[in-house]
Amino acid sequence: MANPTTPYRKEETRPAGINPVTERARETASAMTEKAKDMASSTAHNVGEAASSAAHRAKDVASSVSHAAGDAASNVGHKAEEATSAVGGGMRSLAGTLRESLPHEGVMGTASSAVADTLDRSGRYLQEEGLQGIGEDLTNLIRRNPIPALLVGIAVGYLIARSVRS
């Protein structure tokens, strides 16, 4: 038979006052807590990776949009330069037409020659310099004459405000 000094039931090895159901509940709660911690850690890691991936994708999209906008602006700039050059060519052509069709002598001849020369020079300037050259020349003019440029700006602003308000 069984040795009376050797306990054979788990209940007898527990300290007195601890219920076997309570002990089992503690062990289960402890195991569930560990699993919850593991799941929370895993979920936090997955969320971190997803956020990093989303940020990387957003950065890529922003970069492509920025690149596309830059390309569009560049194309618009090239088209504007081409249009400016075309206007310059038209002005030079008009100057040639005026020279051929208007009188060459007298007061009318002198005036038509002056207008044709001015159109020719302006057309050549537009063809050679383009919008960038005009911008640089305008910047230099404003730097050399800041007070008159400021007064002209105020006058233009006043005129625009008056025309909009009416």
* Whether the model pTM is above 0.75: no
> Which burial class, exposed, middle or buried, applies to 95 when counting CB atoms under 10 A from its CB (0-12, 13-18, 19+)?
buried
Residue 145 belongs to a domain: no
Residue 106 belongs to a domain: yes
- Confidence band of 15 (pLDDT split at 50, 70, 90): low
Residue 141 belongs to a domain: no
Q: How many domains does the chain have?
A: 1
| pLDDT at 143 (0 to 100) | 94
Residue 122 belongs to a domain: yes
- The fraction of the chain above a pLDDT of 70, given in percent, is 89
Q: How far apart are CA 113 and CA 119, in angstroms?
A: 10
- Confidence band of 14 (pLDDT split at 50, 70, 90): low
- Confidence band of 25 (pLDDT split at 50, 70, 90): confident
Q: How far apart are CA 146 and CA 139, in angstroms?
A: 10
SS3 labels along 77-114: HHHHHHHHHHHHHHHHHHHHHHHHHCCCCHHHHHHHHH
Q: What is the mean pLDDT of the chain?
A: 83
Q: Which residue has the tokens 């020349």?
A: 137
Q: Give the domain extent around 108.
A: 59-131
Residue 34 belongs to a domain: no
Question: Under the phi-then-psi rule, with left for phi > 0, alpha for psi from -120 to 50, and beta for the rest, what region is 130?
Answer: left
**What tokens were used for 152?**
């002209």
Q: Which residues fall within 8 angstroms of residue 108, CB to CB, at 6 or more apart?
A: 102
Q: Is the pLDDT of residue 8 over 50?
A: no
List pLDDT tens digits, range 27-41: 888 888 888 888 888
Residue 121 belongs to a domain: yes
List pLDDT tens digits, range 107-145: 888 888 899 999 999 999 988 888 888 889 999 999 999
Residue range 143-164: mean pLDDT, rounded: 94
List pLDDT tens digits, range 69-87: 888 888 888 888 888 888 8
Question: Under the phi-then-psi rule, with left for phi > 0, alpha for psi from -120 to 50, and beta for the rest, what region is 105?
Answer: beta
Q: Which residue has the tokens 């008009």?
A: 94
106-144 vs 146-165: helix axis angle to the nearest 10? 100
Asked if residues 119 and 91 have their Cβ atoms less than 8 Å apart, the reply is: yes
Residue 166 belongs to a domain: no
> Measured in whole angstroms, how far is the alpha carbon of residue 55 from the centre of its chain?
17
Residue 98 belongs to a domain: yes
